[in-house]
Amino acid sequence: MRPVTAALWVAAMLMGLKLSGSYPDSIVDRSSKNLSFVPRDLPQTAESVDLSCNRIQKLHRGDFKNTSLLRFLNISWNSLDDIDPGTFLDTPLLEDLDLSHNRLRNLSAQRYLLHTENLLVLNLACNRFLTMTLGKEFSSLVKLERLALGAQNISAGDFKNIAEVKLRTLTLSLENELSYTAGSLKDVHAQRLQIASTSDQIMDHYVVDDALSLFDEVELMDLTGGYNALSEQLTKRVEILTSHLYLTNISIDWKDLTQYVNVVLLTSITHLSASDVAIYNLPYMDTKVTKTSEMKSFEARRAVVKSFFFSQEAVYNFFINMPVKSLAIIETSIIHMTCPKSQSPIVLLDFSYCALSDSIFSRVEGQQTVECENLENVRKLTLVGNNLKKLLMLSKRVQHMKSLQHLDLSLNSLVYDGVGECVWPPNITNMTLSSNGLTDSIFKCLPRGTETLDLQNNQVSVIPSSIFKLGNLSSLNLNANRLRDLPVCNGFPILTELLLKSNSLHAPSVNKLESCLKLKTLDISYNPFTCTCALSSFISLGIKSEKKKSQTEIELLSWPLDYYCTYPESVRDTTLKDISIPEVSCNVFLLAAAILCPAVVMIVAVVTLCHRLDVPWYMGMIWQWTRAKHRARMSHVRPEDLVGVEFHAFVSFSQHDADWVKNYLLPNLEGYTGGLRICHHEKNFVPGKTIIENIIGCVEKSRRSVFVLSAHFVKSEWCHYELYFASHQRLAWGSDSVVLVLLEPLPQYLIPSKYYQLKSMMGRHTYLEWPQDRAKHRLFWANLRAALQTDLPNAPVVEQEE
């Protein structure tokens, strides 16, 4: 399928999908079914029908009599040579018709179009039309927006019957041995003209000449050669109406590309765009670029190189030194971008979805890194979807962009550890850092003049109270982070919009909003709300927001539909607005009165009964007996029982918590520090064995199993298997063979039902919680080592580190 046909196909499908969906059978796909006629069983609810790639030769009246709702019809790549004039009498809603790649022969006799007055898209390209003369029936297509045609002969007056039709796009599919009369396109009124080459021949001179003099937007497609002629043609033209020139799906040598770009730079064309470009014979040395131009923007999208040996720096230098206001290189695998050789006029710079690294714009001279100082005019820099990793380094790369106001670094792998001072340029007001790996320390590395800050989809758990003041910040987006409570606004005195959707807020502390004096908009939807007394003040805030009592009230976005309980189980998925929390359960005095009085009576009755029946004595005996039996069982571990045990513990953890295990757990348990032998999958799983066999082997060779619990743990299937086998091993070793380490709070209601063994263990056994206070870490490790310590047979001696 050629790109021109593919483009129209995609546009048509999008339109079809948008318009359909009312009925389950609204989209019908009968393509590539070897059909020789239109099926009779098309559903009456069909809005989109695909009959492409079949053997249909003729369309008859009544073929679509049962599809009165039809809006999109694709009969391309068939053998159509005749269409009955009444074929579309029963489809008054038809908006998109694709008849490309068939055997239709006469554009003057397409009488079926008289019944398609609602058509928006019509594709008749790649048929067998000898002349482009459009019949009178085309004049009835007053709503037509996209038209694709192709013929061997194009003459003056061929398009007179669509002179009154205001097209958005006209696509001409140039046939082999095209005969074109100059001025033939003067009757066409279209915003964009697409010229698609169907062969390797040079594009017709007169077609291009008319295109440049009659249309505001011109797109040249599927070119493989003839660029010298196009460049020469542009050079000779005095007046050019075209302002936007597009090159799509082309193959070109570097010399031809740069020559053509330099020629365009000298014309009145203001926008040049190239997409899906294959570039050959790239340079070893710099290529000269025109120094002054009226062109405003240049964009390259999905460009690929077909040379193995060339100078990347020479390629980058050509583009970065172009005299344009806007430069965009998108979805192209460039790994670096150089600095302009002189002060650049570029205002908008976009390198989205490339492969750029932290060295962007800089160069190394000896042992020194030289930063770029020739991009002072850049106001907006977009580096979305690259390989950027260190935010501190990025601040140095852009520090001399004195005019920079908008910076978009989303969809990278950026981190900042709080070490080192960021050196941003002074005028940044809009900062987008979404979808990175940034934590709480990011608030120490922000431009002080920031007005809009987007940090959604990062790892921020709290906004530190000791951050410097962002006095101009008005909008803060922290959606999809790890916040557990509302932040205070001491560092953001004029904050008006705060977005906290999809965090970990259980019971937001509404009193913290008292510090947000200017706050007007708040979004806390899709959080795991715990519907208890602590949430009552927040529910009151939502109800006030809904009523909008005054202009000073905070608007709570998406209230009440996207605010619902996750705990307790009895009210799960109930909206907060519909929750009723009794006053007696939240008022301390009422609750005390309601509980203490019956409790006192009950206690007196129980004490009296226990005293008469001597229950304390029996309970004490049972407790002592249980403890004695427990100690006896724990102390009788014979050496032969430990045969085959090689490790003190097997560690099970989610891959998301691997950094904590590697950086904290293993260094404090193994080696000279801990003296324990620890088994974990990255070191001890045997290649060649299945994962299940490795899990079973590691559990059997370990005296105990340590489970690092987190929200990620309970989402991992492999962690579930490891817990399952360890629980069975627990029957042989006893309850102390499983040690639980809680890396972060993990309420019971967040644990899936399949982890019932984990719920049971957490309910009956004490587990170790990882303390956030560094002063408590030493005691934590001491307790964990004590819980794991045991004498293993033939345990190797751990050598001391020097």
Between 174-183, 430-439, 476-485, the lowest mean confidence (pLDDT) is in: 174-183
> How remote is the C-alpha of 759 from its chain's centroid?
34
- Least confident window among 134-143, 273-282, 393-402, 657-666: 657-666
pLDDT, position 415: 95
Contact 487, 509 (CB under 8 A): no
Q: Which two tokens stand for residue 756?
A: 């019932």
> In this structure, what token pair is assigned to residue 74?
């694709």
Find the mean pLDDT for residues 398-416. 96
Q: If you classify domain 645-787 with CATH, what class do you get?
A: alpha beta
Q: What are 706-723's pLDDT values in tens digits?
A: 888 888 877 777 777 777
The secondary structure of residue 653, as a DSSP letter, is: -
Contact between 187 and 214 under an 8 Å Cβ cutoff? The reply is no
Q: What is the pLDDT of residue 21?
A: 45
- Tell me what pLDDT residue 754 has: 72
The DSSP-derived string for 113-142 is: GGG-TT-SEEE--SS--SB----GGGGG-T
For residue 581, what are its two tokens? 């929390």
Specify the pLDDT at position 201.
67
C-alpha closest to that of 433 among 409, 407, 460:
409
Q: For 195-210, what is each residue's pLDDT tens digit?
A: 998 766 677 888 999 9
Give the tens place of pLDDT for each residue, 245-261. 999 999 999 999 999 99
pLDDT for 637 beyond 70: no
d(CA 690, CA 712): 23
pLDDT at 627 over 60: no
Length of the chain in residues, anyone? 802
C-alpha–C-alpha distance, residues 197 and 172, integer Å: 9
Confidence band of 406 (pLDDT split at 50, 70, 90): very high
pLDDT bin (cut points 50, 70, 90) of residue 794 is: low
Task: Show me where the domains of the chain are located.
Answer: 582-613, 645-787
Query: How does pLDDT run across 575-619, given as a tens digit for each residue?
Result: 888 888 777 667 667 667 767 788 888 888 887 777 665 455 345
Predicted confidence at residue 537, as pLDDT, reads 86
Rounded to the nearest 10 degrees, how much is the dihedral formed by the CA atoms of 89, 92, 96, 102? 0
Helix (H, G, I), strand (E, B) or coil at 184: coil
How high is the pLDDT of residue 410? 96
Structure tokens at 258: 């740069």
Contact 700, 722 (CB under 8 A): no
Rounded Cα gap, residues 52 and 100, in angstroms: 10
- Residues 756, 748 contacting (CB under 8 angstroms): no
